[in-house]
């Protein structure tokens, strides 16, 4: 996958790549909504249950699965940012 390191800077295409990798069963459902609403990485990280429902994912278990992967993505983003801060502090 050719996604940039920070999920918040992903393009719509990179969001679709992430969905395809993590939730291939939902790509058809989510693809139209992601493109229609121009959901970039920054918007992806802010999705909540009701957004997923509006995008066509109605099953609660499936919503929770997607939200769990989004939480992991947010945590990884935070870790990357902290690592960047630490490396900046120690390189000075």
**What is the domain-level CATH number for residue 73?**
1.10.150.50
86 in any annotated domain: yes
Q: Are the beta carbons of 57 and 20 closer than 8 angstroms? A: no
The tally of domains found in the chain comes to: 1
Q: Given pLDDT bands bounded at 50, 70 and 90, which one contains residue 92? A: low
80 in any annotated domain: yes
32 in any annotated domain: yes
User: pLDDT at position 4, please?
Assistant: 59
**Greater model confidence, 44 or 82:** 44
62 in any annotated domain: yes
- Domain housing 26: 7-91
On the 0-12 / 13-18 / 19+ scale of CB atoms within 10 A, 77 is middle
35 in any annotated domain: yes
Q: Given pLDDT bands bounded at 50, 70 and 90, which one contains residue 90? A: confident
């Amino acid at each position: 996958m050719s996604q940039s390191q920070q999920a918040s800077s992903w393009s719509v295409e990179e969001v679709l790549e992430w969905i395809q990798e993590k939730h291939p069963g939902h790509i058809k459902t989510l693809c139209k909504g992601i493109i229609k609403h121009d959901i970039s990485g920054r918007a992806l990280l802010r999705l909540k249950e009701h957004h997923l429902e509006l995008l066509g994912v109605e099953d609660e278990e499936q919503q929770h699965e997607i939200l769990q992967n989004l939480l992991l993505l947010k945590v990884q983003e935070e870790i990357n940012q902290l690592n960047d801060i630490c490396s900046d502090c120690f390189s000075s």
